[in-house]
Amino acid sequence: MERLWAPWRSVYIGKDHGSGCIFCEKLNAAGEKDRENYVLFRGEKAFVILNIYPYNNGHLLVAPARHVGDIEELDPVEMQELFSTTRLMVKLLRRAFNPDGFNVGVNLGKIAGAGIPGHFHIHIVPRWGGDTNFMPVLGDVRVISEALDMTYAKLKEALERENDV
């Protein structure tokens, strides 16, 4: 049997992650820790963070700044900013990575696949032709070809260029 090693996952698997909300913890950390926490963008009502266990390079999470667990709890201003921020991130991902398409979605509730069911968030997953192969099917493994630090740097640069326009 072949083995693929992913030691970076050991910090997550089987560990107590505490009772705090990872989104709130990262958002409430000082702004100078944004790079360390992979907080890519901060708006008034929403923010963007890199998924540290991505399905593909550039997998982003768009979340409200307010700790809210369900779509029905969002106010109209939060909903508008979440969607406009999602649109901006799709634009940045196109600029930085040139994907062939995207999966954009929400998992509401643990049974629906929400890994963090207490804080609503939108997934943006860039997709390329042929990006799904035998690895997830036979090996229950995903191959991510780029380090998160490099992904963050590319997207931050694209965001800065967007703000210069």
Residue 90: DSSP 8-state = H
Closest among 155, 21, 152 to 95, alpha carbons compared: 155
Query: What are the start-end ranges of the E strands in 7-83?
Result: 39-42, 46-50, 60-64
Is 123 a known active-site residue? Answer: no
Q: What gap in Å lies between CA 78 and CA 56, rounded to an integer?
A: 27
Q: In this structure, what token pair is assigned to residue 87?
A: 């649109």
Of 17, 67, 119, 121, the active-site residue reads: 121
CA atoms of 68 and 66, how far apart (whole Å): 6
Burial class (CB in 10 A: 0-12, 13-18, 19+), 3: exposed
Residues tagged active-site: 121
